[in-house]
Structure 1
Amino acid sequence: MGDSTNFASKHQVFDVSVNVTESKRFDDDGRIKRTGSVWTASAHIITAVIGSGVLSLAWAVAQLGWIAGPIVMLLFSFVTYYTSSLLSDCYRSGDPLSGKRNYTYMDAVQANLGGLQVKICGWIQYVNLFGVAIGYTIASSISMMAVKRSDCFHKHGHKAPCLEPNTPYMIIFGVIEIVFSQIPDFDQIWWLSIVAAVMSFTYSTIGLGLGIAQVAETRKIGGSLTGVSIGTVTEMQKVWRTFQALGAIAFAYSYSLILIEIQDTIKSPPSEAKTMKNATLISVSVTTVFYMLCGCFGYAAFGDHAPDNLLTGFGFYDPYWLLDIANIAIVVHLVGAYQVYCQPLFAFIEKTAAEWHPNSKFITKNISVPIPGYKSYNLNLFRLVWRSIFVIISTFISMLLPFFSDIVGILGAFGFWPLTVYYPVEMYIAQKKIPKWSRKWVGLQILSVTCLMISIAAAAGSFAGVVSDLKVYKPFKFT
């Protein structure tokens, strides 16, 4: 009897130790323990936020002027931080530490709003992610092309034609993305996000430095209080460009559509919402400082003639090697940013396909591919085929519509209100059960309606820009 009791007690101790070991390996939802921190979350956000949009800010400030330009940037930063804080509270339903997790933006909408809202949100989110892939392909090709043109100007003078087709560079970027798109999961690209974040600081700092140097050399601050004046452009062009500038700034702050996915990489305790709010505060503060400096010094350097892409519009020509470094950094950053944005879309399609066809080996089977000196890679044929097709289609569309500032404006307008403002506000109201017509409810609705009007205006201006560009553009030609 003593032996059996002793055996039972040993067996219980063994069970407890196994449970403790398992609890260290897995989270409360049975998934492998998350390891993300405030710093990895900040890196993901900065990678997503300080993207190619920063390069259009000098042009945006030029359209708005010295008064409205900085004010609009500050307002966008405040709205983005506030609504992102509301959205981070929606990661868990119920208790902030033990409530049910919502793994994606759509899961959060399903848990808090449900019904038709989920389908509408899904279409908006994933169309926007597809648009970002197009925008980043365009921006990367422009930067690759700028490296070649910069070297050409250095050899043959600033007035040399130095024309380059952008199509080959888009294809190069597409091939690179097909390779990186085979990284299976979002939480496996943390290293790519850190590299991309470093690159974003690199080219933003170079753009800022060149703007400061230009102002110091000429000892003049360009621009005016109201921006590009009537006469330089027509009254209608002034209106459309002002609206388009709002879209460009909105795009520069856009990352809410992947916020929940980033939050799902964070370890706890403390609660994921608390960590995410800290990461958001750090990231939005850092990016706003960079945006203000780059946008304002770019405008100060070039005034009303600020190019729509600060580092590729050739307001700067020298030192050419520094421009080359900046543009290479842009390309490296966009390789990572493309993945940060597209991984949620990849995961959604693959999850849906597996649910629809659970017995399909083409969709569900992983083939172990040994890699010398590293763990085996799980190759999934459906992932290989569908992600490659996605990159090919987005690259082809980029070749047809390579209009940087216009596409940036459209993306900013299309995604800002619904994903950054409307859904976070509505989910917060539902989750906290805020009474209708209460002071807080009215305040949140005023914020939402105001941002809706801004998005509509920005979309109108950007579409007008595309129509204007299409009148003179011939696809697959030299630019």
Structure 2
Amino acid sequence: MAILQYPLEQENSLRDDDGRPRRTGTLWSCVAHIITAVIGSGVLSLAWSTAQLGWIGGPLSLLFFAIVTYVSGFLLSDCYRSPDPVTGTRNYSYMDAVRLNLGKTHTWFCGLLQYLSLFGTGTAYVITTSASMRAIQKSNCYHKRGHEAPCSYSETLYMLLFGAVQIVMSQIPDLHNMAWLSVIAAIMSFAYSFVGFGLGFAKVLENGRIKGSISGVPATDTANKLWLAFEALGDIAFAYPYSIILLEIQDTLKSPPSENKTMKKASMIAIFVTTFFYLCCGCFGYAAFGNSTPGNLLTGFGFYEPYWLIDFANACIVLHLVGGYQIYSQPIYAFVESWSTKKFPRSGLVNNFYTFKIPCFRPLKINFFRLGYRTAYVASTTAIAVLFPYFNQVLGVLGALNFWPLGIYFPVEMYFVQRKVGRWTRNWIVLRTFSFGCLMITVMGLIGSVVGLINAKFS
């Protein structure tokens, strides 16, 4: 086995005029990245969320968050270049755009929330994947031993297995090199969304009626009902926005046409597709099970048969989240790598790559610093997931934390700066009102989800 050494700047010889890896992304690779990022573990909680909000509040909330997500993406896509959205200087990440438009204080606040949300999403994906792997084992057990059998299995082993897989996958250099993984993940997301929709539809036909009510699942008292409704809003908020990685995805696009034009079109396509699936899964899941709707549509065992189809859907979830985890982790990897290269420009550990030539295989390129910190990152998300394996509550907290500050506040504020929107003009009043309304939803979702998380941990 031969070993070759070369510096970091030689890792990719194909560079654009700004020295970064050549951008080859298209409309459809962008759609694949967005769908991989958006249709994740959140889709599985939407039937439960619809059940808490009822037949009016549930569907309207799904449509509301879809519209808000598109508006957020529309505003943020113009921030990729500044000061002009077509000819200005590129902002390679969300933090770069905030730094240029809003200053240092906002940048620190943005960075804290963004990386906390990215880390939390990775943790949520570990929880979801382990639940799906465990559901496959339980499904086979119920099929063989009956639906009342005590088929109980620990999730910890599956979390560790998923973490081991992600340690390997984390060595993918960056988003520019993982379009193939996003395509596979997007296909998987369509597959299990179709299965969830199909099983819900079949269950409604089997029941011969549509279950559920206008007010949703009843609770023991008004306060508990409010907490559950707020938690449901947090879950829906988690299922939609992808603002924290929008500019990173946009940075993969080639031009012409201009990157913001392609991103707006891709956002419209992706959000339309995801909203269709969300409405189908959320509404048909609630219609099928009514007040008994499980927290996770495919792992809560509202469905037992056909067991092989349940197994297939959960396997698709696992494969999808392998890619989804990387989509949300790559911005953190890029930040740490960029900072380390600037901080230690002469460090061989940080900057040198080593090529291992193994017979019968493609050359393997390893940077030991990258290997170490990415492994530590994956291990930390896995450890947190083991400590807090509460699906709906974790999604609600993350959704609430991410929704207003990163999805609404910063895009609106940067729009004001770039477009030079004056105070008390019509646009200023409309967007300020829009931002305040979304802030109230974030507060409600966060309160409900934190209450739910505390109750789940200590009950």
What's the TM-score once normalised by structure 2's chain length? Answer: 0.95
User: Per-residue deviation at 1:375?
Assistant: 5.2
In 1: Cα distance, 2:21 partner to 2:214 partner:
55
In 1: Cα distance, 2:183 partner to 2:154 partner:
31
1:390 counterpart (357, 373, 377): 377
User: Per-residue deviation at 1:369?
Assistant: 2.1
User: Per-residue deviation at 1:198?
Assistant: 0.3
> Does 1:129 find its partner at 2:118?
yes
Match of 1:18 in 2: none
- Opposite residue 145 of structure 1, the aligned amino acid is R
> Does 1:316 find its partner at 2:303?
yes
User: Per-residue deviation at 1:151?
Assistant: 0.2
2:109 counterpart (104, 110, 120): 120
> Does 1:363 find its partner at 2:355?
no
Query: Which of 316-325 and 88-97 deviates more?
Result: 88-97
In 2: Cα distance, 1:170 partner to 1:96 partner:
42
Residues 455 and 371 of structure 1, relative CA distance in 2, 3 Å threshold = farther
> Does 1:175 find its partner at 2:164?
yes
Q: Secondary structure at the match of 2:346?
A: coil
> Does 1:60 find its partner at 2:60?
no
Following superposition of structure 1 onto structure 2, how do residues 148-167 of structure 1 map, counting pairs within 5 Å? 148-167=137-156
2:30 counterpart (41, 44, 62): 41
In 1: Cα distance, 2:285 partner to 2:324 partner:
23
In 2: Cα distance, 1:258 partner to 1:97 partner:
20
1:352 counterpart (328, 335, 339): 339
> Does 1:447 find its partner at 2:434?
yes
Match of 2:82 in 1: 93
1:224 counterpart (183, 193, 213): 213
Q: Deviations over 1:347-405 (max 9, x none)?
A: 10111111112121111111122355665332111110000011111101101100000
> Does 1:257 find its partner at 2:244?
yes
Match of 2:7 in 1: none
Given that 2:238 and 2:400 are in contact with CA atoms closer than 8 Å, whether structure 1 keeps it comes out as yes
2:97 counterpart (105, 108, 111): 108
User: Per-residue deviation at 1:471?
Assistant: 1.6
Given that 1:97 and 1:269 are in contact with CA atoms closer than 8 Å, whether structure 2 keeps it comes out as no
Match of 1:7 in 2: none
In 1: Cα distance, 2:327 partner to 2:447 partner:
28
* Pairs aligned (count): 447
User: Per-residue deviation at 1:26?
Assistant: 4.7
1:27 counterpart (16, 19, 26): 16
Following superposition of structure 1 onto structure 2, how do residues 401-420 of structure 1 map, counting pairs within 5 Å? 401-420=388-407
In 2: Cα distance, 1:402 partner to 1:147 partner:
18
User: Per-residue deviation at 1:306?
Assistant: 0.5
> Does 1:195 find its partner at 2:166?
no
Residues 311 and 189 of structure 1, relative CA distance in 2, 3 Å threshold = same
Q: Deviations over 1:51-91 (max 9, x none)?
A: 01000000000000000111111010001001111000000
Q: Which structure has the larger Rg over C-alpha atoms?
A: 1
Given that 1:88 and 1:263 are in contact with CA atoms closer than 8 Å, whether structure 2 keeps it comes out as yes
Given that 1:105 and 1:257 are in contact with CA atoms closer than 8 Å, whether structure 2 keeps it comes out as yes
In 1: Cα distance, 2:96 partner to 2:212 partner:
46
User: Per-residue deviation at 1:216?
Assistant: 0.5
Match of 2:40 in 1: 51
In 2: Cα distance, 1:144 partner to 1:229 partner:
31
Q: Secondary structure at the match of 2:418?
A: helix
In 2: Cα distance, 1:395 partner to 1:440 partner:
44
Match of 1:77 in 2: 66
> Does 1:432 find its partner at 2:436?
no
In 1: Cα distance, 2:17 partner to 2:423 partner:
35
User: Per-residue deviation at 1:237?
Assistant: 1.4
Q: Deviations over 1:393-433 (max 9, x none)?
A: 11011011000000000010000101110000000110110
- Opposite residue 141 of structure 1, the aligned amino acid is S
In 2: Cα distance, 1:467 partner to 1:33 partner:
47
Match of 1:22 in 2: none
- Opposite residue 195 of structure 1, the aligned amino acid is I
- Opposite residue 163 of structure 2, the aligned amino acid is G
Q: Deviations over 1:105-160 (max 9, x none)?
A: 00010111112000110000001101011100000000000000000000000000
Residues 308 and 169 of structure 1, relative CA distance in 2, 3 Å threshold = same
In 1: Cα distance, 2:348 partner to 2:385 partner:
33
Give the superposed CA RMSD.
Answer: 1.3
Identify unmatched segments of 5+ residues in structure 2: 1-13
In 2: Cα distance, 1:91 partner to 1:85 partner:
11
Residues 371 and 440 of structure 1, relative CA distance in 2, 3 Å threshold = farther
Given that 2:117 and 2:402 are in contact with CA atoms closer than 8 Å, whether structure 1 keeps it comes out as yes
In 1: Cα distance, 2:175 partner to 2:221 partner:
47
> Does 1:295 find its partner at 2:282?
yes
User: Per-residue deviation at 1:30?
Assistant: 3.5
- Opposite residue 60 of structure 1, the aligned amino acid is S
Given that 1:241 and 1:461 are in contact with CA atoms closer than 8 Å, whether structure 2 keeps it comes out as yes
In 1: Cα distance, 2:101 partner to 2:357 partner:
43
> Does 1:279 find its partner at 2:266?
yes
Identify unmatched segments of 5+ residues in structure 1: 1-24, 473-479
In 1: Cα distance, 2:398 partner to 2:321 partner:
16
What's the TM-score once normalised by structure 1's chain length? Answer: 0.92
Given that 2:21 and 2:176 are in contact with CA atoms closer than 8 Å, whether structure 1 keeps it comes out as no
